[in-house]
Chains A and B, each alone.
Chain A
Amino acid sequence: MLEKAREGSDILIEVRFHGRGGQGAVTAADLLAVAGFKEGYYTLSFPTFGAEKRGTPVASFLRISDKPIVQRDEVYNPDYVVVMDPSLIGVVDVLAGIKKDGMLIANYPKGSEDLKRHLNTDVKVYSINATKMAMEHLGRPITNTAMVGALVGATNIVKLETLKGTIKEWFEDESLAEKNIKLVEEAYQYMKEVCKW
């Protein structure tokens, strides 16, 4: 998508993340805000504001643009939607307002076909078993870095190297950073394969 910006035309990419409180939906949006910034773009990320409790459905938002971002309303017509928890499918209207040529990526163990059927949509929908990957790499079902890797693998909105650099700086604990980088790489490669670009 950002190739368009590199060619000089206006661009604004809007992403909505759905997760459950404690899963790191805010961090997911923040990581891409930093990665986008590193690549020279204007970025803005923000949570749905409130007194969210662990486990309740939450959302966070991301805008990436080649111009200063003046829109601070919630993202109503996302280019991309990222769902971090399979249990949100059918509970939250995750496709709400998504652009016709948009894309949804979900952490969903039963595969893309099953997900597409479930969501009953013409929009591009891809699944990844991010919980399994996170358990293998982190030993915990924290899927935010995996899902960021998956989004970048599916869309190339930032370069993988930029994302890895961002994650390296993000985690103070070096070994945790390394584990997350490996997780991101696996999710990225998996999704790149699935989306075949």
Chain B
Amino acid sequence: MRKVVRGFYAIAHAVKLCKPNVICAYPITPQTEIVENLAAMHAEGELENCEYITAESEFGAASILVGASAAGARTFTATSSQGLILMSEVLYNAAGMRLPIVMVVANRALSAPLSIWNDHQDSMAMRDAGIIQVYVENNQEAHDLVPVAFRVAEDKRVMLPFMLCMDGFKLTHAYEPIELLEQEIIDAFLPPYDPPVKMTTKKPLTFGAYAPPPYYMEFRAIMHDAMERARKVIEEAMKEWSSITGRDYGGHTFTDYDEAEVAVVAMGSIVSMARDVAEEMRKEGKKVGVLKIRTFRPFPADEVRKALENVDKVIVLERALSLGSDGPLTLEVKSALYGTSKEIHTVVVGLGGRDVPRDLMVKIISEVYEGKVKPGFRFEGIHEYEEVIP
């Protein structure tokens, strides 16, 4: 059924159809309405076999889900920004315990200074936790990928938490037509969660046990292997899901070009506009294309290398910082391109919700295309500034 809904409802509706057993969260802007909608659905009796728990903090919410997931429940939470990093201690544990918790991160800047607006710094801070990270471009994709998240996370070859990243406000609060999924489609695609092991009162188990030096390393190596295996599992799931829904978002990456001199690499909602600008430039005979990175963990280095093989200049649109180094996406792209020589531009845009107008996108791409700017790291859409420390 096609309906005009807000992004947060699109997520809540899809989560409901995935039949979670425990939803636990703590409110934080701009995520709040996701769990608010789920709480309302729970109160209306639309969620069967499901506990909805409001925790006392994000730390508590993640901890409750660790317990619930270890007991064999299908679990969901959503958070943003400070909430996510408050969860971080628990989430590293969840990943190490191999608990397939699915979470939506409504991407928002980190403090300080306080900002409730969108960028990718929060999820990037969780980059190394052992959590699968997928970034969506629009609300249809966000809606569609919720069942994929559960299926991949709970796959016995994977068993890792899954973080679906959607731009806060830009997507969560956008009101637009969505093709809402039907229960039967999800039931056919997503089997009930069948945990390989689970904690019961009859069979108590220890999760996240003490691992002295003779054991620890192997556990981490096994996690690494699981994350590597997740590549194929995600691909399989996406492929099957595309054939069922008829909506194909590509694989880990998506390119809109066969041949390009300049390629823009981007993640999240900014991709659509970049693609629109590139399309317009191609009509003018300029060879420009967009490489969308959808899966960030595991990082699709082979696909990126292949997509950029014949490209001369690469523009990486960064929505996060790794202070004192290149942006986190640039680091991945450079690593994927190791041994090749290309001009790489790191362009940081839209931190803390700074709008990226179409004109700015045109300027960024055109200047690189016309060779007017030097490669390297720079901010765009930034005012003149001066540091004042008395």
Q: Which residues of A contact B (CB under 8 A)?
A: 29-30, 33-34, 37, 42-47, 49-51, 69-74, 76
Contacts and interface: CB of A to CB of B under 8 A. Distances in A.
A73 B358 contact: yes
B65 interface: no
Interface string B285-328: 00000000000000000000000000000000000000000000
A155 B126 CA distance: 49
A74 B358 CA distance: 9
Given A49-B30, A74-B355, 16 more contacts: A34-B4, A37-B4, A44-B176, A46-B169, A46-B170, A49-B118, A49-B173, A49-B353, A50-B117, A71-B276, A72-B170, A72-B174, A72-B269, A73-B273, A73-B355, A73-B357
A5 B276 CA distance: 19
A77 B384 CA distance: 24
Contacts of A49: 30, 116-118, 169, 173, 353
Contact of B175 (A30, A42, A70, A73): A30
Contacts of B29: 51
A133 B117 CA distance: 37
B116 A50 contact: yes
A49 B356 CA distance: 14
A73 B29 CA distance: 20
Given A30-B175, A49-B117, A43 B4 contact: yes
B82 interface: no
Given A34-B4, A43-B4, A73 B176 contact: no
Contacts of A37: 4, 177
Contact of B272 (A29, A51, A70): A70
Contact of A33 (B4, B117, B359): B4
Interface of B: 4, 29-30, 116-118, 169-171, 173-177, 269-270, 272-273, 275-276, 353, 355-359
A73 B276 CA distance: 13
6 contacts: A30-B4, A30-B175, A34-B4, A42-B176, A70-B273, A73-B273
Contacts of B116: 49-51
A-B pairs, top 5 by smallest CB distance, nearest first, are A70-B272, A49-B169, A45-B175, A44-B176, A70-B276
Contact of A46 (B4, B173, B177, B359): B173
Nearest to B269: A72
A43 B30 contact: no
Contacts of B359: 76
A72 B353 CA distance: 12
Nearest to B169: A49
A34 B221 CA distance: 51
A30 B175 CA distance: 7
A47 B169 CA distance: 9
Determine which residue in B176, B270, B355 has the highest number of CB atoms from chain A within 10 A of its CB, and name it.
B176
Contacts of A69: 176
Contacts of B269: 72
A181 B173 CA distance: 26
A64 B169 CA distance: 19
A119 B176 CA distance: 33
B273 A72 contact: yes
Contacts of B30: 49
A43 B273 contact: no
Nearest to A74: B355
A42 B174 CA distance: 13
A74 B173 contact: no
A73 B169 contact: no
A69 B275 CA distance: 12
Nearest to A45: B175
B355 A33 contact: no
Given A43-B4, A70-B272, A76 B357 contact: yes
B177 A42 contact: yes
A139 to B, nearest CB: 28
Nearest to A41: B177
B138 to A, nearest CB: 8
B176 A74 contact: no
A70 B117 contact: no
Contacts of A29: 175
